[in-house]
Amino acid sequence: MEPQQAQILDGKLVAEHTLQKIMHEVEGLKSKNICPKLSIILVGENPASISYIRQKRKSCEKVGIIDDQINFSETISEKELLNKIKELNKDNSVHGILVQLPLPKHINERKIIEAINPVKDVDGFHPVNIGKMFLGKDYEELSPCTPSGIIKILEYYKIDVVGKEITIVGRSNIVGKPVSTMLTNRSATVTTCHSKTKDLKFHTSRADILIVAIGRANFITADMVKEGAIVIDVGMNRVEDPNSKTNYRLTGDVDFENIVKKAKAITPAPGGCGPMTVACLIENTIKATKILNSII
């Protein structure tokens, strides 16, 4: 008998489904003479940032959002960047502002994020949007995209989180902490782990749903996962691969090949959380457009 394989939670499929729904919403907005527009700021020429922006712009184009990429050299001053954000905040034709991270070391990322009008903060990183998320599910408005994408995958595959033991490995401001809050808002029992957690395996192996966002290739091994668990792999790591044209391949934070034989369901990486992050950015842009036009 063939060993059982986990169900693959296909982020590309869920992202496509999300974008199809948004496409109809964009048509509705355009019929009211509202053209959603996203401004994307790139500082420098980080290849990963360029590749992420390409994916974001492709999705904008697909659903009919106007996307405007603003490039600055690596040497731009913090003040110049802040001035550009002020200008975009005032521009009524712009509904979403995204500053692609990371920024060069001489620029304070927090200061830049906090300069964005919270209503145009489609990445959901502004303290106002993070604060709203803490108040509860009904207050979530422009939530961070990767956590929102994880919630959407769980919802699409009808994975109930109420009362479930969920362990999250990673406590970053963009993934671990917000997804922990959003799942608590949805009545899961959440444990958040990090580099100082004493017995990581104890926490991962009792999880009904395990979410991993640490940035270490194949770090979570099959012995750390409960039989029949749901595994969401957020990690996106470049590992050397001489057989690949680029000399590297992308891989997640979990040992997919072995965990797929033990878990009930698992996201692939790539092809899991990545496409969902982009889809949720597009969704946030539409939400921002509606809020700015007093439609919601």
Which residues here bind ligand NAP, judged by CB under 6 A?
146, 169-172, 174-176, 193-197, 200, 213-216, 234-237, 273-274, 277
Are 247 and 240 in contact by the 8 Å Cβ rule? The answer is: yes
Q: Using CB positions, name the residue nearest to ligand NAP.
A: 172
Q: Shortest gap between Cβ of 278 and ligand NAP (angstroms)?
A: 8
Nearest approach in angstroms of CB 172 to ligand NAP is: 3
Q: How far is the CB of 253 from ligand NAP (least distance, A)?
A: 6
Give the nearest distance from C-beta 83 to ligand NAP in angstroms: 28
Nearer to ligand NAP, 175 or 265 (CB): 175
Query: CB-based contacts of 224: which residues, under 8 Å, 6+ apart?
Result: 200, 201, 204, 205
Query: How many Å separate Cα 195 from the centre of its chain?
Result: 21
**Would you say how long the chain is, in residues?**
296
Give me 223's structure tokens.
Answer: 């012995």
| Catalytic residue ranges | 56, 100, 123
Give per-residue burial for 186-196: e unless 16+ CB within 10 Å, then b: bebebbbbeee
Q: Which is nearer to ligand NAP, 200 or 291 (CB)?
A: 200
Nearer to ligand NAP, 125 or 262 (CB): 125
Alpha helices in 64-104 (DSSP H): 78-90
d(CA 137, CA 139): 5
Q: Which is nearer to ligand NAP, 69 or 172 (CB)?
A: 172
Which of these, 193, 279, 250, 198, lies nearest to 20 by C-alpha position? 279
Give the residue carrying structure tokens 């979990």: 254
